[in-house]
Amino acid sequence: MPSKLEALNRWVDDVARLTQPDQIHWCDGSDAEAAALRAQMLADGTLIELNQTTHPGCTLHRSHPSDVARVEHLTLVCTKNQADAGPNNHWMEPTQAHAKIDALFAGCMKGRTLYVIPYCMGPIDSPLSRCGVEITDSPYVVANMRIMTRMGSAALARIEREGNFVKGLHSTGELDPQRRFIMHFPEELTIKSYGSGYGGNALLGKKCHALRIASWQARTEGWLAEHMLIVGIENPQGQTHYIAAAFPSACGKTNLAMLIPPEGYRQAGWKVWTIGDDICWMRPGADGRLYAINPEAGFFGVAPGTDHGTNPNALASIQRDTIYTNVAVTADLQPWWEGLKEGAPVTDWQGRPYDPANGPAAHPNSRFTVSARQAPSWSPKAEDAQGVPISAIVFGGRRPSLVPLVFEARDWAHGVLVGAAMGSETTAAATGAVGVMRRDSMAMKPFCGYNYGDYFAHWLSFDKAGAKLPKIFHVNWFRKGADGKFLWPGFGENLRVLEWIIERCEGRAGAQETAIGLLPRAQDLHTQGLALREGALDELLAIDLPRWAAEVEDIGRYLDSFGEHTPARLHAEQRRVAAELASAQTPQKRAAVAS
């Protein structure tokens, strides 16, 4: 092979000596290769063929019951200095980490095939894209990486031209939770993952590369690697605004990325275009605006809750050529999960006869892997090498109380504070307790590859002369009333909030100034035809000043937890909001707000 691939060839040889596979296969990404792998996995039971009449090309994979989600406590960032990883990451010294995980890799591929997967994160010809190579012993990983990345010969050719790539080494090992680690070495642009075959633990192009390693690359190179969807909103005049939005896992990113406008909006000519549902890389353009690409080529979406009523575009996307993981099946081998109104499960996600006493039929974090191009809302702009210009950045999370439906940050620094302060109830996407409120800055807590304090400083660094930065907003679809029911209908109706956001970006919508930011008044949101109970909109936009004062005080303690790495400008912004809240609680100020 040409000389620029010498480093890659040496690395493959070194890994082969360590892991001792029976054979080595360099993946070219071809249809013939994919068909052969599929046949092999169907023959050995790695994949189960689903109903080919109703779901042509679809298969089911069942992972080990102990291997069904990200394992944050076993996910390490290994930098020379612990402070560079920060308290937001689990850390291990690199030399010790390599020794520990390499001992697990020793001889682990005996009797297996070592697959070399060259891949590109982002359009193959985009200057914003970055390449990697994953070595794995899992054909299931190969099949998923083919869908989720630009994988094969074209990626290898780009690696040969550029001469650099992120190295990812993976083995399913024994699938023993006691022998499982996902280690990141950002200073070496290297990932090592052992003992898991699940999603983000095994598809190293996804969270490991596109967020943890890429966030480190982005800080070095002057861009942003974010846990964000990218959606285009086209108004009846034919103008499209692109929005990047960050939500913790299983908080509706895919639903928002594939949103279907309410009937009245559809008739008026509104359209929604999907660029990406999970990861966003943004870089300043020559005009000072931020331009974004989706580094992924597919969706690795959460299946439960996906139905005609919640996300018809996602449901339409996964009717063919989809890999399902840990869903249930019906009597005629159709995939099934909780929230799907059609069909009934007879076999659960572990392959047992379905018994409600065993829990849900589909695992709460069961998934589908599908090409993004299969979404009816997919935009060809997703392949634009220069990316799409971002008009607004939106943060959000599950907050049953306190946080209003939507508010706008006063400026970039305030927006960074809003993102840093994000909180959400935990979901089934990660191991551990569900329903616990935790801070999840920019929805990056499990994914930021370095110290959060330095990350906040990197965000602030974009605010400089000549920059035309997006406005920043915060949304909360999950606020509940006293009866415990959601106050906002969500799903397609969220377009009403996005419409206000777009109109704010255009300078056309009204807002009221408050201590926490700019909020729409009831008349600023278009609610015609929306069935809200009486008083719900007032509750959705209400601000409890004493509780907000306590919230901002807690945010201050959170920022303190990153020590001297937290930028002084962010501390100053937190103090400014705290002072505004204190002032707003004086009798004279309250009276002025009430009037």
H helices present in 237-282, as ranges: 253-257, 263-268
Question: Cβ(270)–Cβ(235) under 8 Å?
Answer: yes
Tell me the C-alpha distance between 260 and 314, whole Å. 10
First to last CA, the chain: 76
What DSSP letter does each residue of 348-409 carry, written as one string?
-TTSSBP-GGG--SS-TT-EEEEEGGGSTTB-GGGG-TT-EEEEEEEEE---SSSS-SEEE-
Question: Cβ(390)–Cβ(243) under 8 Å?
Answer: yes
Tell me the C-alpha distance between 388 and 383, whole Å. 10
Token pair listed for 223: 């861009």
Cα of 292 vs its chain's centroid, Å: 14
CB atoms within 10 A of CB 31: 8
Q: Is the dihedral of CA 14, 19, 20, 21 positive or negative?
A: negative
Which residue among the candidates 108, 251, 280, 448 is catalytic per the annotation? 251
Tell me the C-alpha distance between 594 and 394, whole Å. 28
Q: Among this protein's residues, is 251 annotated catalytic?
A: yes
Give Cβ neighbours of residue 123 (< 8 Å, ≥ 6 apart): 129, 150, 293, 382, 383, 384, 385
Give 142's DSSP letter: H
- Catalytic site positions: 251
